[in-house]
Structure 1
Amino acid sequence: MDSHFRGTLWTTLILFTLPHLTCNMLCPGSCLCNSNNAKCVGDTITDIPKQLPVLTSLLRLDQTKMKIINEQSLANKKLLLRFSLTRSQLHTIHPRAFHVAPQLKSVKLSSNDLSALPARVFSPLIALEELYLDRNQLESIAPDMFKGLVRLQGLDLSHNRLSSLASHVFYELKNLTFLNLGWNSIKKLPPTIFHNLTNLGNLMIYNNELEVLEAGIFDELVNLVALKIHQNQITSLPPQVFWSLRNLENLTLSSNRLQTIPEKSFYNMPKLIQLTIYNNQLLSLPDQLMGHMPDMTVFYLYNTNLTTVPGNLFANMSGLQKLNFHLNIKLRELPSDLFCCVPNLKQLSLKYNDLHYLHPQLFSRLTTLSVLFLNDNKLQSLSDTLFQGLEQVLSVNLKNNTLKNLPGDIFLSNTVLSDLLLSGNPWNCVCSISGIAKWIRHNEHVVLDKDDVICHSPTYQQLRTVGSLRDEELFCDVTTFRTYLSTRELMTPFHTISTSEQTSGVASTTAMPTTRSTTIQLATQQVTIQTNTPTAKPSALHTTIPPTTLQSHTTTLSPTFHDTLVVEQGPEFVHHNLLKGSVYVWFLPSGAALTGLLMFCHILLVAVGLFLILAAMFCMYRLNKTMDELKAEFEHPPG
């Protein structure tokens, strides 16, 4: 019983092992055989191996020195269904090379040196479903090249040197679902070239030299899902050229030469998910351009010459989540209702445009927005209500604009804001900036570049960070001051200004013969003081300072001056000394002639000083030499 059982077991093992042993015995040394697959790699392969496992249905040859597929290369491969010869030196195919293998369903000849193909060389392959001829040197395709390939579903002709195609070259490929013509040199396509491809789902014509699209060229492609015609030289679109593409989900028109787009070009495409028209020379867009696109989630519109856009541009994109609307260097204004109807928008990029102004209600309906890029524009000011509706915004980038100030409560409603960038703006650190300075101090963890948010003006605040400013340094609490006013018109050598926190001030001058009116700048307060003094003696003037913005033609007072300030006339180059509780300040006049004269005098004095030093050194030298001579005579008298 045991002996019989052992015999049966050995028989079974032999029956199961023998085919594998046979396969391995028939597998060439440069190949790897596994079940019904065989892969052969290496420079030693110059032709298709004659001896392969009988059951081989997939044969892959890669990086070989095979240059020709001859008439018998595929002979005796009755079960072979998929044949691949890639990254080799193949340059010739015999006209009858595939007559011995009509059962093939897939042929891949990518990345070879094929520059020409015999007419109808693939016609015997009546069962062929996939044909890959990409990355070769093909310059032309015979009009009847694909005749008889009625079952073909995928055809890749990309990365060749094709410049034109016959109008009926794809006529018999009624079951084709994928066609790639990208990366060629095609300048023009016949208007009927795709008319028989009613089952086509993916059409790639990108990276060619197309200058025009013929009217009606896509009319029969009712099942097309993806159309990629970016990176061409298309200058215009025929009206309604895409209207038959009701099932289209992806359309790329970017990197062409479009300056205008016909009205209603993107109507009748309700399934569209992605549309790209960036990198075009667009000057304007029509008011009616986008049809109903509820499934659109991503939209790219950047690097154009647009100066503005229609207010309803995104109105039919209710499902939009990401909008890249940047790098439009001439885009200066946006309609106030531009983002009215995109309630699901999560990321909005408006960076690197030319925006000078944003309407206070521009973002009011973007209640789900989480990321907003406004950097590298020319925004000069922002309304305190601009971000009021952005209750879910996490990141706002305002870097590199021309902002001098921001309302203190502009981010009041943005309670989840965690990433704010403000550097690269010319902040004006006077009293009006105290609100946003206080907000920055209380939200340092939010302002990621707080150390680079630097004051550009006034001069005495330069290089300070906005977050370091305090109200008392900005004169926000000063309401009155006393001033002794002197200007060139009043012919007074100097005037004294005394600052304090009282509610009134006194100003006095000496020997002022006429009535004058002078305006002085002190932080954000303005005062105009009229002086009416007799010629005999000075008089005192009582002045109350209103809490309004000060403007001056001569004097800006540093916030550290709280005592008596003696001011000499002059607009620039401030110098000061502290003496007995008073700060004495004088200014060097900045007239060009006077400055030149002073510079000349300075250089002359330096030159005279150097001359005197050299003269003194020479005199010392002569004196020392004379003394040496006298000493020598004294020590060694003559005779």
Structure 2
Amino acid sequence: MMSSSNSEPGPSLAACGMGSSRPMQLLLFLLLFPSFGQGVPQCPEACKCTLSVNGTSVICGPLDSFPKSFPMDTISISVEYTNLSQLSSDALRGLPNLKELHLAGNRIDSLSPGLLMSTPALEVLDLTGNALTGLPSGLFRNSEALHSLVLKGNKLNTLQVDWLEGLVALNWLDVSENQLQKLPPDLLLNLTRLQTLDLSDNMLLELPSNLLQGLSALKKLHLEDNKLQTLADGTFSTTPYLCHLFLQGNRLDSLPSNIFSNLTELDMLDLSNNSLAQVPDGLLDRVGLPQHQMKDGFDLSGNPWNCDEKLHGLYSWLLINQDRMFFKDKTLCVGPKDQAGQRLLEVAKKRVSPKQ
């Protein structure tokens, strides 16, 4: 630094320059700060560069091709909502400090297998709203630092295990709004740090029973707006810390009696807008326990509930957890005929003995 604990503040750079010519001041400045004599890194054409103590952040557009000649200290690149359709295999070469790459809203339909080989520090990759139909095998082989991958709104109709190899630090995976119909059972087996998984707005007809195996850190799971009719027994047996589970907007008409038995940490459960007329006794007994009340709540609305004695187990659970029930006025009975149109919660109050 320019001064030490034993030096006086008087003879600073400004003081030394007093009475000197401007060339002499510049020469002294360059002697004290030699890196400035090497020139200021240029910002790519059609881009805006912002310097910080950590490095350079670059925002580009509009453009038709990926920019070139980024500053070597670039930590973030954003090229979004442009006509960009391709990236060459060396597009990110020479950027070892790159941590974030945002490419949302472009027309990218494929990626080179070697695209990320020279960016080992990359932590965030956002490819929302492109035209990807697949990913190359080995794309993430050098992406051990990547923790957030967003593939939302592309044209993926399948996912393959080798597409995700190397993502040992991934904790957020978003593959929503694609065209997924089926998933391989061991797809997520090595994503042991995953905390948020979003598979919503696809066309999934079923889930492999061991899809979530190994995801012991999973906290939030989005499965809404698919075409699921039921869930395999044991689907959530390896996700004990799941806090938020979204299953609304499917075609669920039946559920195994112990499907939620391992989810004692749930704060939010959404089963709305399915085809549930009845559920087995004990289905929710382990959810909303006295020692862990649901913080956010649950939603059972938009189902064709058949409010007879077969729902006795659900009635009892509802009365205990009614304070956390969403859309009570829209959670209605469809049958039997004498109960049609009544609120499920009101029927529960009538059916369950006050002593219970």
TM class, shorter-length = 0.7 to 0.9
User: Which is further off, 121-130 or 228-237?
Assistant: 121-130
Asked if 1:330 is matched to 2:353, the reply is no
Q: Give SS of 1:150's match.
A: coil
Cα deviation 1:530-550 (Å, max 9, x = unaligned): xxxxxxxxxxxxxxxxxxxxx
Residue 333 (structure 2) aligned to one of 305, 321, 330 = 305
- Counterpart contact for 1:264–1:291, Cα < 8 Å: no
Q: 1:102-501 alignment to 2 at 5 Å?
A: 102-269=120-287, 270=289, 271-272=293-294, 273-284=296-307, 286-289=311-314, 290=317, 296-301=323-328, 302=330, 304-306=332-334, 330-331=341-342, 334=346
Q: Give SS of 2:245's match.
A: strand
Q: Give SS of 1:286's match.
A: helix
| Offset at residue 20 of structure 1 (A) | 12
Cα deviation 1:537-571 (Å, max 9, x = unaligned): xxxxxxxxxxxxxxxxxxxxxxxxxxxxxxxxxxx
| Offset at residue 102 of structure 1 (A) | 2.6
Distance 1:77 1:261, change over 3 A: same
- Counterpart contact for 1:123–1:145, Cα < 8 Å: no
Q: What TM-score does the superposition give when structure 2 sets the normalisation length? A: 0.81
Greater strand fraction, Structure 1 or Structure 2: 1
Distance 1:296 1:75, change over 3 A: farther
- Counterpart contact for 1:163–1:184, Cα < 8 Å: yes
Asked if 1:41 is matched to 2:61, the reply is yes
| Offset at residue 154 of structure 1 (A) | 0.5
Q: Distance in 2 between matches of 1:221 and 1:279?
A: 27
Q: Give SS of 2:163's match.
A: coil
Amino acid at match of 1:219: S
Distance 1:186 1:79, change over 3 A: same
Q: 1:593-608 alignment to 2 at 5 Å?
A: none
- Equivalenced residues, count: 318
Asked if 1:30 is matched to 2:46, the reply is yes
Amino acid at match of 2:313: Q
User: Which is further off, 163-172 or 298-307?
Assistant: 298-307
Higher RCO (C-alpha 8 Å, min separation 6): 2
| Offset at residue 52 of structure 1 (A) | 1.9
Q: 1:88 matched to which residue of 2?
A: 106
Distance 1:332 1:55, change over 3 A: closer
Root-mean-square deviation (Å) = 3.1
| Offset at residue 218 of structure 1 (A) | 0.5
Q: Give SS of 1:83's match.
A: strand
- Counterpart contact for 1:267–1:292, Cα < 8 Å: no
| Offset at residue 330 of structure 1 (A) | 2.5
Identify unmatched segments of 5+ residues in structure 1. Answer: 309-327, 342-639
Distance 1:205 1:111, change over 3 A: same
Q: Give SS of 2:78's match.
A: strand
| Offset at residue 18 of structure 1 (A) | 4.3
Q: Distance in 1 between matches of 2:112 and 2:255?
A: 43
Amino acid at match of 1:297: R
Q: Give SS of 1:151's match.
A: coil
Q: 1:33-72 alignment to 2 at 5 Å?
A: 33-35=49-51, 36-42=56-62, 44-47=63-66, 49-72=67-90
